[in-house]
């Protein structure tokens, strides 16, 4: 895959291929082995790998569009490679040449990375990892796990270990109302051997202006905007093909179908406008990140990139929850029939947004605009 256009086209093909089984994945909460195998084989995992290493090195706008496209069909699947793309960025900016050559080659061959957190300690002539991570999205089927850990000096490092390495166990104890197919169970690491050549001094990334956090948050923003678009799509389809008009409108002879109800038309138009606004805000934020680049020149430029994404993430999260809820106001009681599984949109939106409160996004945006206070320099912004 060599271009932005090819990446978007591949995302559309992949999203279409998993659309018919999304309800099954949501209901079963089982490991989506087939869907993830297809993702790994799609070529999408390598789209942000630098061109000099054989990747497409797509723009942030394209990355956001790829994730949004998949999330509009299944946001749980779209969330699984979020950590993967973060670690591609970490390798690009902070990895050594040997680390890049080894891991980028595996990524381009379909290897998926996944983050977890724990403690790194010396053990004789080598290193060992010990710890437990309770939310391990995608680790259960990843080829490599990127472990963010504290070393002996309490500095943050990033160590890559194979999923099947001795001492690594990943449970499927993920029992929540939404984003079920992420299977974000618990990862336990017990004296896991670590190759010292695959350890990155991750703490250095946050000692200088950076966009790693913003680029990771862009993926999360795209997931929320994708949920909003998917809920709007399904609401429109249900209103047009299944919903019945409210009896007052029908009895008065005003309408023949639910899609002609004036209140439904108004509400749907309002929601469609907000979804479009969220999509455009996402694209604007992605373009801002493209201007800043992976290595911003100073703290202010980094802040501007981070806050652009914060606005897109906060607004997208609100719109996703709103559309997913108003879907039932548009569609009526018949839409609550569990066979349609339309509640998954709201469950997914709320579950995904719960990990990152939008109030803090708006706080940092407002504090910058009103008081010229730069936001914190960490991986969540």
All structural domains of the chain with their residue ranges? 4-205, 208-371
Compute the average pLDDT of residues 328-334.
93
The CA distance from 322 to 326, in Å, is: 6
The CA distance from 309 to 289, in Å, is: 8
Tokens (6 digits) for 31 = 């490991």
Q: What is the pLDDT of residue 250?
A: 67
Radius of gyration for the chain, computed over Cα atoms and rounded to the nearest angstrom:
22
Half-sphere exposure for 44 (CA within 13 Å, toward CB): 29
Q: Chain-wide mean pLDDT for the chain?
A: 94
Tokens (6 digits) for 73 = 């069909």
Q: What is the pLDDT of residue 4?
A: 97
Q: What is the pLDDT of residue 322?
A: 98
Residue 87's CB is within 10 A of a number of other CB atoms, namely: 26
To 10 degrees, what angle do helices 82-94 and 212-241 make? 160
Contact 89, 240 (CB under 8 A): no
Report the CATH fold assignment for 4-205. Answer: Butyryl-CoA Dehydrogenase, subunit A; domain 2 (2.40.110)
pTM to 2 decimals? 0.95
Contact 25, 44 (CB under 8 A): no
Q: Which CATH number fits domain 208-371: 1.10.3470.10, 1.10.10.1100, 1.20.140.10, 1.10.3720.10?
A: 1.20.140.10
Q: What is the pLDDT of residue 123?
A: 87
Q: Looking up tokens 């309002």, which residue turns up? A: 270
Question: Cα dist. 353→256, 282, 289, 362 in Å?
Answer: 38, 16, 22, 14
- pLDDT tens figures, 252-278: 677 788 899 999 999 999 999 999 999
Contact 36, 110 (CB under 8 A): no
Per-residue pLDDT at 355 exceeds 90: no
What residues have CB less than 8 Å from 159, skipping those under 6 apart?
120, 127, 129, 146, 147, 149, 194, 198, 199, 200
- pLDDT tens figures, 103-120: 999 999 999 987 667 899
């Amino acid at each position: 895959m060599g271009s932005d256009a090819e990446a978007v086209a591949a995302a559309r093909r992949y999203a279409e291929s998993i659309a018919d089984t999304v309800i099954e994945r949501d209901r079963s909460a089982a490991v989506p082995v087939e869907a993830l195998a297809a993702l790994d084989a799609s070529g999408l995992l390598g789209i942000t790998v630098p061109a000099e290493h054989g990747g497409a090195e797509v723009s942030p706008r394209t990355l956001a569009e790829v994730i949004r496209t998949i999330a509009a069909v299944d946001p749980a699947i779209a969330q699984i490679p979020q950590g993967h793309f973060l670690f591609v960025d970490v390798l690009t900016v902070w990895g050594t040449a040997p680390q890049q050559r080894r891991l980028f080659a595996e990524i381009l061959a379909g290897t998926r990375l996944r983050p977890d957190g724990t403690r790194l300690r010396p053990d004789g002539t080598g290193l060992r990892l010990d710890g437990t991570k309770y939310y391990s999205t995608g680790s259960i089927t990843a080829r490599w796990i990127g472990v963010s850990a504290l070393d002996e000096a309490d500095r943050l490092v990033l160590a890559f270990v194979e999923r099947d390495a001795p001492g690594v166990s990943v449970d499927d104890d993920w029992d929540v109302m939404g984003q079920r197919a992420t299977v974000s169970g618990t990862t336990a690491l017990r004296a896991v051997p670590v190759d010292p050549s695959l350890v990155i001094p991750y703490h250095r990334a946050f000692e200088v202006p950076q966009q790693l956090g913003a680029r990771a948050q862009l993926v999360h923003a795209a997931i929320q905007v994708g949920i909003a678009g998917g809920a709007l799509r399904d609401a429109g389809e249900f209103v047009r093909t299944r919903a019945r008009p409210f009896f007052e409108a029908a009895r008065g002879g005003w309408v023949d179908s639910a899609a002609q109800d004036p209140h439904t038309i108004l509400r749907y138009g309002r929601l469609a406008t907000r979804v479009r606004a969220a999509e455009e805000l996402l694209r604007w934020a992605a373009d801002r990140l493209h201007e800043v680049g992976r290595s911003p020149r100073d703290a202010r430029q980094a802040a501007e990139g981070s806050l652009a994404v914060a606005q897109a993430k906060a607004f997208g999260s609100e719109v996703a929850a709103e559309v997913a809820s108003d879907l039932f106001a548009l569609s009526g009681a018949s839409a609550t029939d569990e066979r349609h599984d339309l509640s998954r949109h709201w469950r997914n939106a709320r579950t995904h947004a719960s990990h990152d409160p939008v109030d803090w996004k708006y706080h940092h945006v407002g504090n910058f605009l009103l008081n010229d206070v730069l936001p914190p320099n960490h991986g969540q912004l």
